[in-house]
Amino acid sequence: MGTAGKTITCQAAIAWEKNSISIEEVQVEPPKAGEVRIKMVSSGICGSDDHVLKGELPMNFPLIPGHEGAGIVETVGDGVSSVKPGDKVLTLIVPQCRECDACLHSKGNFCDKQDVLPCSGTMLDGTCRFSCKGQKVYHSFRTSTFTEYTVVPEIAVVKIDDAAPMDKVCLIGCGVPTGYGAAVNSAKVTPGSTCVVFGLGGVGSAVVLGCKASGASRIIGVDINEKKFPWARALGVTDCLNPKKLKKPVHEVVMEMTGVGADFAFEVIGHTETMLAAWNSCNYSYGVCLIIGLAPLDSQLCLEASKIVSGKTLKGVCLGDYKTRDCIPQLVTDYLQNKINIDPLITHQLPFDKLHKALELYHTGKTVRCVLLF
């Protein structure tokens, strides 16, 4: 008995309100036109999911969290042509519609059809495909990967190589392009350069991977959680700094260590204070500061305006500036060809029913990336 055209009942994590999550039996409707239903195989737990769970993004509850997913296409809706049942796929927090201004511009990648800013919690037609106990359940980032089955718009899903190990490649749906791509594709880190990375979580560690791959000779890692330092050193960080243990502001220490400031600074936390610290750690003339973290929605970044004229660059970046459907499959192929090694980013893998344990590991700062397996 196939499941095509039928509602599927399965297990999913539901965030009922902020800081309240439980695994429940849910109903997942068949995909509508332009949509894809996916049987999940793995999902990373990313810092952005934590923003959702804490209610820091204006999202509708109850919702199914998760966006960094790998799975197998179960069925497709009318008009879907880029994937078919049985394909291995990744879900994409930033879709690529190939029609909007950002998609049509050679440099743009923040597709108008994304559901990050602002968040609707629905599919593109404004309705939802999930329900639980008769109640409508919202999507998160139009992906919702903490579930055995999900429904995603075709523009937010991409086919990957048949040989991809599905318990690992979920990271290439988000953390790897976001971090590695920021270093390699957006900043274009140069050989012999000095980089400073603020935040050594899953995404910051992927930035380190990209700096190392680009030939940076010095990579300074900054984090308030020293449990991250051994993992960071193994990836290529040469100097670790804990701002809480320094006698002066971290940017002053970076300036002293480098003499002239960093060539490249990356903020991978999402706080305005660390964004300023990253900016102030850069060389005043040619330094490049990339902001990856999402700051609180009502916050303002206040820069000393007279310091901008000297030439340094401040740039925001999402998903490594990659046009997601065009570029992400190649990152999977690069991994399969040993050109990128994402394995050290995955410090834990747990079955989906151990979700609470996985979230506890994340919240106590004991993981770089924990992957849920379905």
Find the part of the chain contacting Zn ion (CB under 5 A) among 21-29, 47-55, 128-136, 338-346.
47-55
Handedness of CA 267, 42, 55, 328 (dihedral sign): positive
What is the rounded distance in angstroms from the CA atom of residue 352 to the CA atom of residue 53?
A: 17
- Least distance from ligand COD to the Cβ atom of residue 298, Å: 15
Residue found by looking up tokens 């196939």 in the block: 2
Find the part of the chain contacting ligand COD (CB under 6 A) among 7-15, 119-127, 130-138, 201-209.
201-209
293 binds, among ligand COD, Zn ion, none (CB under 5 to 8 A by kind): ligand COD
Give the residue with the Cβ less far from Zn ion, 203 or 241: 203
Paired strand residues for 150? 38
Q: Does 346 bind ligand COD (CB under 6 A)?
A: no
The correct pick among 174, 211, 219, 372 for binding ligand COD (CB under 6 A) is 174
- Rounded to 5 degrees, φ, ψ at 272 are -65, -35
Pair 129, 75: CB distance under 8 Å: no
Contact letters for ligand COD, residues 241-280 (x by CB under 6 A): --x------------------------xxxx--x------
Give the residue with the Cβ less far from ligand COD, 36 or 269: 269
* Crossing angle for the helix pair 250-258 and 272-281, to the nearest 10 degrees: 20
Which is nearest to 268 in space by CA: 229, 294, 245, 286?
294
Give the residue with the Cβ less far from ligand COD, 294 or 359: 294
Q: Which residues are tagged catalytic?
A: 46, 48, 51, 67, 174
The correct pick among 13, 21, 30, 48 for binding Zn ion (CB under 5 A) is 48
Q: Does 269 bind Zn ion (CB under 5 A)?
A: no
Would you call 37 helix, strand, or coil by DSSP?
strand
Residue found by looking up tokens 């509602």 in the block: 7
In the chain, DSSP assigns E strands to 8-17, 20-28, 35-44, 63-64, 68-76, 88-91, 130-132, 135-139, 149-153, 157-159, 194-198, 218-222, 239-241, 264-267, 288-291, 313-316, 346-351, 369-373
Q: Is 245 exposed, middle or buried (0-12, 13-18, 19+ CB in 10 A)?
A: exposed
Give the residue with the Cβ less far from Zn ion, 180 or 279: 180
Find the part of the chain contacting ligand COD (CB under 6 A) among 42-50, 257-265, 296-304, 320-328.
42-50
- Least distance from ligand COD to the Cβ atom of residue 245, Å: 11
Provide the binding-site residues for Zn ion, judged by CB under 5 A: 46, 48, 174
Provide the binding-site residues for ligand COD, judged by CB under 6 A: 46-48, 93, 174, 178, 198-204, 222-225, 228, 243, 268-271, 274, 292-294, 318-319, 365
